[in-house]
Amino acid sequence: MTKIVTGLEPLFNPRSVAVIGASNNVNKWGRSTFSSLMKHYRGDLYAVNKREEKILGHPVYKRVTDIPGEVDLVVIVIPPENVAGVMEDCVKKGIKASVIITAGFAETGPQGKALQDKVVNIARRGGIRIVGPNCMGMWSASARLTAFMFPMDILDGPLALISQGGNIGGALVADATARGIGFRHYVSCGCTADIQIEDYVEYLGHDDSVKVIMLYIEGLGDGNRFVEKVKKVTRMKPVVALKPGKTDAAARAISSHSGALSGSDPVYDAAFKKAGVLRVESSTELLDLGIGLLTQPLPKGRNVVITTPGGSYGVMCAEACALRGMNIIDLPDSAMKTFNTMFPSRWSHGNPVDPAGDRDFVQYLRAPEVALQCPEVDALIFMGFGSFSALSSVFGGGKGGTGIMNWVKGIEGIEEMAPAALKILNSGDEKDIRQLVKALIGMMFASIMPTKSLKMDEFLETLSGALTTEKMLHTSFFDTLNDLFESLTTGNSDKLGDINIMDLMEPIPGALVRGLIEKYGKPMITTTFTEGNTQLSEAGHFPYPNSDRASNVLKNF
């Protein structure tokens, strides 16, 4: 690691944190900031306030210099005019990193900029790095550090986000959390008075647990420095940026928000291209592309096949793809012949592939592989494949009813296989478990729909292989399997009624998508039927709400 990267370690991995301005007053940010840290942080946590004796059960120190132990990081939540004096104390204490949540600096004009410069000069004299000011705080999963100005749910995961906008950053975190996606690090960097965006990117580039870096940028201090540092990172991992400022109105808003100079949009466009940064146009697109880069390979070309449960979905998706420069190709002869044997004669006989209401759901699931195995096909979009939740009605409800009991007991041969299946699951032997899962899924499908035998075994092999990877062996899918076979072995009908069938069904689309991606090395993008957040399943499947967003991800690849 370079010196600048090493210098950020006390920020991302502090052994101790002090909140200067911690408070018992629920109307003050010092209260919510301190309680936010209490929620997850496991290092030494200190409260600093001149007027309080105890805050949320913690003893309070009048000044940071009164704290007996070492302090790696301070979070500052006090009026702006007092920050410089506090920073002097931090220098005396030997602190190496700070998060200044306080606003009222460069974003307010020349006087605020002068105050900001004074604080930065004091900090640099003591070697203290600064996040902010005028920010909402930060998260570092490696330290369980929730240094936010208010408690916020966030998951550990492979993304990283650096945002000059606190509200946009918080919204992206909330949206990602709702989708089941997590961040290894998130920094609301505010005015970037000290640590620049490219410094964060450089640090994150050396963190192997970060797979994709997302940026919300309002302005850069030194464009050449940004390009030089970031282009080294984009050779290792993707960096995606959202940069507003194409209009005068946005440029004025940026100046009053973060104190940054928006700059010429064509210049930023050129800088991003030179640095290897992918630029997007909205916060939704930023997260969508970030997730897509996590879960999908890059296509070799622009030829797309669409599979759909309904003609109108296919029409909309075809137009969305065409408008974004993708080719909705004619189906290769080999695919046409196979689909003719799989689907009723009323199927669409073209791209998009529409089985026209065929009830053989296994063929609906097999259709993507028929297309992906064709050399002419570079990518596939599967409309309406995002969730199996609607299947709960088939079983009389997902949990706690007689529907699940009757359905399970009605699966031919399942009670007889239960004792041996339980032993296989407890053995941990991946090969045997794979064959068990393959047999069970085949029995489940056969019990609820007519299935043609055409390459059924090959389909089940792909599906069971993805479901029995090391990652999947430690999920609720296998816990539910264990409960299922234990209930059948012991005859415990009450426990059987408590099993949530969706724990078995929800991972199936994710496993199928992941299995096909790994098998063919091509992107397989899926959508749901409606708008709204959807969970990233345990099998690593992420559906998009509509064809516009799905096709937009492919466009940006």
Instruction: Look up the CATH number of the domain holding residue 183.
Output: 3.40.50.261
Cα 174-175-176 angle, rounded to 5 deg = 90
Instruction: Please tell me whether residues 381 and 420 are part of one structural domain.
Output: no
- Which among 269, 295, 321 is the end of a domain? 295
Rounded Cα–Cα distance for residues 94 and 89 (Å): 9
Domain assignment present for residue 140? The answer is no
523 shares its domain with 488: no
Establish if 143 belongs to a structural domain. no
Kindly report whether the global pTM for this prediction surpasses the value 0.85: yes
**157 in the same domain as 204:** yes
**CATH code for position 129:** 3.40.50.720
Q: Is 144 inside any structural domain?
A: no
CA dist 180 to 140, 173, 246, 532, 538, Å? Answer: 17, 10, 32, 13, 9
The answer to whether residue 32 sits within a structural domain is yes
| Beta bridge pairs of residue 59 | 54
Q: Is residue 141 one of the residues assigned to a domain?
A: no
pLDDT in tens, the chain (557 residues): 444 566 899 999 999 999 999 999 999 999 999 999 999 999 999 999 999 999 999 999 999 999 999 999 999 999 999 999 999 999 999 999 999 999 999 989 999 999 999 999 999 999 999 999 999 999 999 999 999 998 899 999 999 999 999 899 999 999 999 888 999 999 999 999 999 999 999 999 999 999 999 999 998 989 999 999 999 999 999 999 999 866 666 556 555 545 555 567 888 999 999 999 999 999 999 999 999 999 899 999 999 999 998 888 899 999 999 999 999 999 999 999 999 998 999 999 999 999 887 777 778 888 999 999 999 999 999 998 765 544 444 444 455 555 556 667 777 788 888 899 999 988 878 888 888 888 888 887 777 666 555 567 777 887 777 777 766 777 777 888 888 888 888 877 667 767 766 667 667 777 888 889 989 999 999 988 776 655 555 567 788 988 999 999 999 98
Looking at the fold, whether 310 and 231 belong to one and the same domain comes out as no
How many independent structural domains does the chain possess?
Answer: 4
Model pLDDT, residue 389: 46
Domain presence at residue 453:
yes
Predicted local distance difference test score (pLDDT) of residue 536? 55
pLDDT score, position 431: 86
* Residue 73 backbone phi and psi in degrees, to 5: -135, 140
- In this structure, the strands spanning 58-61 and 54-55 are antiparallel
Asked whether residue 147 is domain-assigned, the answer is: no
Same domain, 435 and 469: yes
Q: Are residues 282 and 349 in the same domain?
A: no
Residues 3 and 120 in one domain: yes
What domain range is 110 assigned to?
Answer: 1-135
- Give the amino acid at 189: C
Where a domain ends, among 273, 295, 317? 295
- State CA 90 to chain mean position distance: 35
Residue 408 phi, psi dihedral angles, 5° rounding: -60, -50
CA distances from 498 to 391, 429, 484, 494, 545 (A): 17, 27, 10, 7, 31
Task: Assess whether 157 and 283 both reside in one domain.
Answer: yes
The alpha carbon dihedral of 474, 475, 478, 482 has a sign of positive
- What was the pLDDT predicted at 7? 83
- With respect to residue 271, please indicate whether it lies within any of the assigned structural domains: yes
Same domain membership, residue 401 and residue 275: no
Contact in structure between 403 and 395 (CB atoms under 8 Å): yes
Rounded to 5 degrees, φ, ψ at 22 are: -55, 145
Q: Are residues 67 and 113 in the same domain?
A: yes
For residues 544 and 555, the answer to whether their CB atoms sit within 8 Å is no
Residues 345 and 471 grouped into a single domain: no
**Which residue, 295, 323, 353, sits at the end of a domain?**
295
